[in-house]
Amino acid sequence: MKKLQKKDYFAIHSWIGVQLSIIFFIVCFSGTLAVFSHELDWIFNSEMRASPQKELASKNKILNQLKTDFPKQHITFWEKSREEYLVDIVHLENDEGAILYVFANPYTGKIQGSSTGTIQRFFRDLHYNLFIPTDIGNYIVLLFGFLLLGSLISGLKFINNKRKHSINIGKKNNALAYTKNLHKTFAIWSIPFIMLFSVTGIWYFTERANLFSIADYIEDQEIENVSTNLNEAENFSYSLDYDAAIKSAKSKIPNFTFGSFVISDDEKTIEVRGNSDSKLARYRANRVVIDPQTNDVVFLQKATETNALMTINNLVDPIHFGYFGGLFTKAIWFIFGLLICYLAASGIWIYLKRISKNKKGTYTFRYLNWFLFAVIQFFMYSRLILEQHISLKNHCIILFFWLLFIYLIYHIFYKKIRA
């Protein structure tokens, strides 16, 4: 078998960076903004802000106001923000399946507002599956875990004198040479995070595709129906004692703090999730499923007692998005996310500059990229209009965001290069 030469690695690196360049950048950039998406909600939506206090309000107090303000809705999910300056978000669903996000102040117990969408949800969906329904969009995104790793390996194979490039950004009087050197410098700085995002992305792919039957070891155990007199309740989610559920969870898991409720109308159960001694794990690593009639625990899962693969699986989200250490780790993840976005953008700029200078190469890659971009826009607006019914103001903000994105692409990657 012929050994690959540096030019072969360069060809592989260029192909990965060019063929899906626009979508590659969208995946990277949406993931980077997702790191601070909760903070963006705090900035742009005053209804989602909370002033931290020593004592938390009763969840049942919030429930009573939900009953009054939204009598025909059903609670499906109730999440406490990991940021103490943000409200709880209660997911309400009507009989048609439409979701409404209600903002409840965890300290005062007051309902501060509601919305059919949030910034956090927008960037989460964009980064998770590009708004493309079913598993297709998710697999497209997860494919970039492999491509990012392939780009890193192939790039390192043809970079000479890596120590020099780690501190040298080249001469500023030559735009192409300067950009190439800066591209290499940022790539070397970003190696740990490129590896981190690649490995966690590949893990997500393995989980989604159930490779090696991994689901048998990491999937949450399903709970059988619980026999209870509450089955006949007109609104099951409004008939529950949420404070008692938290109390039951605390009695079973040491140092437990509430993270979320999952309400199942089918199984007639309430599931409490949250933090414990395993600080790095996501909320769902600790699960306490309760029979709402007796307050008996019918299922218990402790983060400290899960198998090795499930423990890893519960660590992947905090590590991938960097929220385990609050604003400090978020800032680090955000900075290196921006560097990786720069690598994606500068890589395609270098390619286009080279082919415009040498009159070699083609722009055929743009057809696939713009086709996928159009698909993303179609499914995105279908969801925002038909499912979430977002306001005209939010439509204008999102439209401005994408028009600015298209303008910058045209100005930087077409007009400037061909000038």
Do 361 and 405 sit in the same domain of this protein? yes
298, part of any domain: no
Domain boundary among 292, 312, 340: 292
* Structural domains of the chain, count: 2
Identify whether the C-beta of residue 246 lies closer than 8 Å to the C-beta of residue 290: no
264, part of any domain: yes
333, part of any domain: yes
220, part of any domain: no
Do 207 and 350 sit in the same domain of this protein? yes
3-class DSSP assignment, residue 174: coil
Do 37 and 128 sit in the same domain of this protein? yes
301, part of any domain: no
Helix (H) or strand (E) holding 259: strand 257-264
Do 35 and 129 sit in the same domain of this protein? yes
Do 112 and 76 sit in the same domain of this protein? yes
Structure tokens belonging to residue 276: 């414990």
Do 363 and 413 sit in the same domain of this protein? yes
Identify whether the C-beta of residue 141 lies closer than 8 Å to the C-beta of residue 130: yes
Do 210 and 140 sit in the same domain of this protein? yes
Do 140 and 192 sit in the same domain of this protein? yes
344, part of any domain: yes
| Centroid of chain to Cα 110 | 28
| Centroid of chain to Cα 166 | 30
What pLDDT, in 10s, does the model give residues 26-47? 999 999 999 999 999 999 999 9
- Supply the range of the domain harboring residue 112: 47-117+227-292
Question: DSSP letters along 118-169, please?
Answer: -HHHHHHHHHHHTT--TTHHHHHHHHHHHHHHHHHHHHHHH---HHHHTT--
What pLDDT, in 10s, does the model give residues 67-126? 999 999 999 999 999 999 999 999 999 888 889 999 999 999 999 999 998 999 999 999
What would you report as the CA-atom Rg of the chain, rounded to the nearest whole angstrom? 24
Do 202 and 128 sit in the same domain of this protein? yes
What pLDDT, in 10s, does the model give residues 281-304? 899 999 999 988 888 899 999 999
- Residue 130: partners with Cβ closer than 8 Å, 6 or more residues away: 23, 26, 27, 137, 140, 141, 372, 376, 379
Do 243 and 267 sit in the same domain of this protein? yes
Helix (H) or strand (E) holding 373: helix 365-382
> Could you tell me the pLDDT band of residue 220, with boundaries at 50, 70 and 90?
confident
286 or 10, higher pLDDT: 286
151, part of any domain: yes
Identify whether the C-beta of residue 292 lies closer than 8 Å to the C-beta of residue 230: yes
Alpha carbon distance 83, 88 (integer Å): 10
Alpha carbon distance 124, 112 (integer Å): 23
Most confident of 167-171, 176-180, 300-304, 385-389: 300-304
> What does the pLDDT read at residue 415?
76
Identify whether the C-beta of residue 236 lies closer than 8 Å to the C-beta of residue 264: no
Alpha carbon distance 197, 126 (integer Å): 17
User: What's the longest Cα–Cα distance across the chain?
Assistant: 78
Do 410 and 339 sit in the same domain of this protein? yes
247, part of any domain: yes
Identify whether the C-beta of residue 76 lies closer than 8 Å to the C-beta of residue 263: yes
The overall pTM is greater than 0.85: yes
The gap between the terminal CA atoms of the chain, to the nearest Å, is 44
HSE-up (13 A, CA, CB side) for residue 405: 16
Do 26 and 158 sit in the same domain of this protein? yes
DSSP state of 229: G
